[in-house]
Structure 1
Amino acid sequence: MKKFSIVIAGGGSTYTPGIVMTLLKHLDRFPIRQLKLYDNDGARQKVIADACEVILREKAPDINFVATTDPEEGFTDVDFVMAQIRVGKYAMRDKDEKIPLKYGVIGQETCGPGGIAYGLRSIGGVLEIANYMEKYSPNAWMLNYSNPASIVAEATRRLKPNSKILNICDMPVGIQERMAKLAGLNYYNDLEVRYFGLNHFGWWTAVRDKQGNDLMPKIRDYIAEHGYLLPGMNEEPSWKATFGMAKNTFALDPDRFPNTYLQYYLYTKFEAEHMDPNHTRTDEVREGREKFVFSECRRIAKSQSIEGLKFEPDDHSNYIVDLSRAIAYNTHERMLVIVENNGAVANFEPTAMVEVPCVVGANGPERLAMGDIPRFQKGLLEQQVAVEKLAVDAWVEHSYLKLWQALTLSHTVPDAAVAKKILDDLVEANKDFWPELKKDAKVKELELSLS
């Protein structure tokens, strides 16, 4: 059986140890000969890499392990690139979340103005990785779950149309794990679903088991009362609120199960008012996952032992392994992937990057037809896809106006004046990351009239 070479791009991420643990768990299904970590922040990656080296030495010493900041070393001789980059790291995420909140607008990592800001930073980073792949391992596949996936997917659709890039997200997988448990099953793959939408902006229209039995009636009443909160689970405060809020988004269409992120678009005022502008999700991550992961990595590296190891495989990583296997072994598994619509959702923009079930094999995903979607969802999706396309227009054209239009059109922003204030703050904050945006004469004239 062939063994594969993998590079985790964004090796300094707090998710890296979980991915490594998942890869090791599934070596019988997906054997590995080489595992590389690549990051442009060598100091941050070293903390993670030192621990991963010990884990691999004790659990799978035959796997060649490399940690590097050199693109040629990182991307030469690889079969899969698992990309999880965060351009600007938590310092910029902090600004993504807190700048909009100054103006009473949702401050969230992937939704609204913060998500747009993050998207414009991510585009260049993902394209850079795609260029390294094309140069050093042109037959490799990139499994990209760098956020915000919809904006990144739209950019790669336009700018890298022939590259082997699959844009994916673990959020639907995490929700499907909860649905499976509610139905008395064990794993997200025990379900067969129909789903449509954009990344972080979609609905399940059918949830069945592998025998074709409809599971929606069994779990509908629970979701209506509790959302996706499961008893006995130790949730971080923000995630507990998110999974619980699903009951409110579900109320708007009780025939379809919502993605959790819809709360930011459907209950915008409530969400903004219940966010602390001085302590956002970024602070929670720093105090929780970031602190835990780096502390555990340093402990392992210092002891040179995995005794008492606290890292475990996670849902986020299981999906990546399943997707890699589907490509590697041409298994034609049914999985949720972000692809160009091209008729998958019949009454929707053909070039939209939609998240739908696909059959995945050696040649990538083949989208399945989801048919027409209802007017309520169609209206929301048309507005959001326009935001994403305008954001990519702004990056490509260096257009201040297009980015102002994108923020104004976002369902999370009340009007153009507020959008402009947020945008001006974001431009200043992102001057080291975004293309320089050009203002046309009309924008300059408006600014003079308002000054």
Structure 2
Amino acid sequence: MKKHNVMIAGGGSTFTPGIVLMLVENIDKFPIKKLKLYDNDEERQYPIAKACEIMLREKAPEIEFSYTVDPEEAFSDIDFVMAHIRVGKYEMRELDEKIPLKHGVVGQETCGPGGIAYGLRSIGPVIEMIDYMEKYSPNAWMLNYSNPASIVAEACRRIKPNSKVINICDMPIGIHSRIKEILGFKSDKDFDVMYYGLNHFGWWKEIRDKAGKDLMPQIINHVKEFGYIVPELYEEKPNDNRETWRFQNSWMDTMVKARDVQALDPQTLPNTYLKYYLYPDYEVEHSNPDYTRANEVMDSREKMVFETANKIIEKNSFDGADFETCGHATFIVDLARAIAFNTKERMLLIVQNNGSISNIDDDVMVEIPCLVGPNGPEPLNVGPIPTFQKGLIVQQASVEKLVVDAWQEHSYIKAWQALSLSQIVPSAKKAKDILDDLIEANKDYWPPLN
């Protein structure tokens, strides 16, 4: 079985140790010759990289490991780039969330004004990474799960249409894990789904077990009462630090709120992020403008991962370390394996529509099931979708296209239009006020808007 060279872009991310650990745990299924980490922040990357180096020394010494801030060194001689960069880090995410809330509008990192701000920061660096990959390893694939995925995917479609880039998101996988718990299955690969929409903006219309049995009625009845939570599985565990950051109150509330979103179309199951678009008044009312999700993450996951990394470095041993693999780490390994070994894995990916959803424009970047092989994704046919979902998707896809327009044209008007069109923003006046504040906050990241 061929061994592959992998580079993780965003080497200083708190998710990187989980990806490295998952790669190691799946080394028999996806053999690796070289593994590199790359980040443009040397100080942030160092403790994560050193901890991973110690981990690999003990668990997989045959892997050639390195880390760098030099693009040529990072992108040379690789087969896969696993990219998960956060432009502006959590400090800018905090502003993405708090600036809209100051104006009485939902503050969320990928939805509404926060997502638009994040998108305008992310487009340039993601395109830069693709350029590096094509220059130094032209046959490599980029598996990109840098947020906000829909805006980034639309930019890739326009600017790099022939590039070997697959845009992905782990959010459906996270909900699949909840569905697995609801059904009492051992694995989320024990069932197949039909899902459609945009990233963080979609619906399940069919879920069946491997024998073809329709599981939707059972899941719908559960979601109507509990959302995506199985209450007995998430009782408070005061001695389990991982539970503290995995299931903060805001995240639990998101899973429970799905029951209200699902009521709008009782025949389908919603992506949890739809609550920001359909219940924005509720979200603002239940948000603390002084302490948002970004603060929760910085005070929990961010702190815990770096503390763990520093302890590994201090001990010079991975023994007893508490790094944990997670859903998107599993997802990224499965995707790489599908391309490398033609497994025809069925996965939810962000791809150009091209008729898969028959009553949506071909150029919309949709999130739908695909079969994956060495040539990338083969989208499955979804067919026509109902008027309610179509209307919301067309509106949100137009927002995302306007954001990319604004970035390409340096257009203030297009950015204002994007904010005004967002389901989350109540008026053009609010949109303009928020935009002006976001421009000031992002002056070191956004192109100038004229």
What TM-score, normalized to structure 1?
A: 0.96
The correspondence of residues 8-407 of structure 1 with structure 2, limited to 5 A, is 8-231=8-231, 232-233=233-234, 234=243, 235-407=247-419
Single out whichever of 206-215 and 281-290 deviates more from structure 2: 206-215
**CA–CA distance in structure 1, aligned partners of residues 45 and 230 of structure 2:** 34
Answer yes or no: is 1:6 the counterpart of 2:6: yes
**CA–CA distance in structure 1, aligned partners of residues 411 and 358 of structure 2:** 31
What is the Cα deviation at residue 230 of structure 1?
A: 2.3
String of CA shifts for 1:118-154, please: whole Å, max 9, x gaps.
0011101100110110011011110100000000000
2:439 is aligned, of 414, 427, 430, to: 427
**CA–CA distance in structure 2, aligned partners of residues 326 and 190 of structure 1:** 18
* Alignment partner, residue 449 of structure 2: 437
Single out whichever of 68-77 and 176-185 deviates more from structure 2: 176-185
Aligned AA (1:64): E
Aligned AA (1:326): A
String of CA shifts for 1:155-203, please: whole Å, max 9, x gaps.
0000000100000000000101111221121222222110000000000
Single out whichever of 215-224 and 192-201 deviates more from structure 2: 215-224
Contact 1:120-1:391 at 8 Å conserved across structures:
yes
**CA–CA distance in structure 2, aligned partners of residues 434 and 324 of structure 1:** 32
SS at match of 1:182: helix
What is the Cα deviation at residue 284 of structure 1?
A: 0.1
**CA–CA distance in structure 1, aligned partners of residues 180 and 383 of structure 2:** 25
**CA–CA distance in structure 1, aligned partners of residues 103 and 214 of structure 2:** 45
**CA–CA distance in structure 2, aligned partners of residues 337 and 45 of structure 1:** 28
Aligned AA (1:18): G
Aligned AA (2:222): Y
What is the Cα deviation at residue 344 of structure 1?
A: 0.6
**CA–CA distance in structure 1, aligned partners of residues 258 and 63 of structure 2:** 42
Task: Indicate the RMSD between aligned Cα atoms, in angstroms.
Answer: 0.8
Which 4+ runs in 1 deviate beyond 6 A? none
Aligned AA (1:255): Q
Contact 1:201-1:262 at 8 Å conserved across structures:
yes
String of CA shifts for 1:51-103, please: whole Å, max 9, x gaps.
00000000000101111000011011111100000011111111100000010
**CA–CA distance in structure 2, aligned partners of residues 101 and 313 of structure 1:** 33
* Alignment partner, residue 443 of structure 1: none
**CA–CA distance in structure 2, aligned partners of residues 91 and 312 of structure 1:** 24
**CA–CA distance in structure 2, aligned partners of residues 187 and 138 of structure 1:** 36
What is the Cα deviation at residue 308 of structure 1?
A: 1.1
String of CA shifts for 1:195-216, please: whole Å, max 9, x gaps.
0000000000001112211111
SS at match of 2:12: coil
Aligned AA (2:69): T
**CA–CA distance in structure 2, aligned partners of residues 112 and 237 of structure 1:** 22
String of CA shifts for 1:260-293, please: whole Å, max 9, x gaps.
0000001011111111100000100010000000
The sequence identity of aligned pairs, in percent, is 62
What is the Cα deviation at residue 412 of structure 1?
A: 0.4
SS at match of 1:260: coil
Contact 1:192-1:208 at 8 Å conserved across structures:
yes
Q: Which runs of 5+ in 1 are unaligned?
A: 439-451
Aligned AA (1:61): P
String of CA shifts for 1:348-385, please: whole Å, max 9, x gaps.
12100000001110000011110100011011111100
**CA–CA distance in structure 1, aligned partners of residues 155 and 104 of structure 2:** 29
Aligned AA (1:421): D
**CA–CA distance in structure 1, aligned partners of residues 412 and 309 of structure 2:** 42
What TM-score, normalized to structure 2?
A: 0.96
Q: Which runs of 5+ in 2 are unaligned?
A: 235-242
Contact 1:177-1:186 at 8 Å conserved across structures:
no
Aligned AA (1:224): K
Contact 1:54-1:306 at 8 Å conserved across structures:
yes
**CA–CA distance in structure 1, aligned partners of residues 218 and 302 of structure 2:** 37
SS at match of 2:273: helix
**CA–CA distance in structure 1, aligned partners of residues 187 and 10 of structure 2:** 27
* Alignment partner, residue 240 of structure 2: none
| Count of aligned pairs | 438
Contact 1:327-1:361 at 8 Å conserved across structures:
yes
SS at match of 1:5: strand
**CA–CA distance in structure 2, aligned partners of residues 332 and 111 of structure 1:** 32
